[in-house]
Amino acid sequence: MDITKKAKEELEDRLDKIEAFIAKKGIGSTYLQKAQKTQRDINLALVLGGIITVAGLVLWMTSKEEEE
């Protein structure tokens, strides 16, 4: 049982390496890299937008309480 589990993990590791190689050097790899970079940039923009929104709401709520 341990041997089959180890063999399965080894095969999965090799497949991951092959997939990474294909993604890096294969057909459409430049498009994939651009898409990944764009997705990362969009995710960062969404996170920063969320942080700014929360900070703005907190400031607005604290200033509203001080006025009263």
Q: What is the pTM of this model?
A: 0.57
Query: Can you give the pLDDT at residue 54?
Result: 97
Q: For residue 64, what pLDDT is reported?
A: 78
The 3-class SS string of the chain reads CHHHHHHHHHHHHHHHHHHHHHHHHCCCHHHHHHHHHHHHHHHHHHHHHHHHHHHHHHHHHHHHHHHC
At residue 68, the pLDDT reads: 62
pLDDT digit string (tens) for the chain, length 68 residues:
688 889 999 999 999 999 888 888 888 788 888 999 999 999 999 999 999 999 999 999 998 777 66
Map out the domains of the chain as residue ranges.
Answer: 2-67
pLDDT at 67: 67
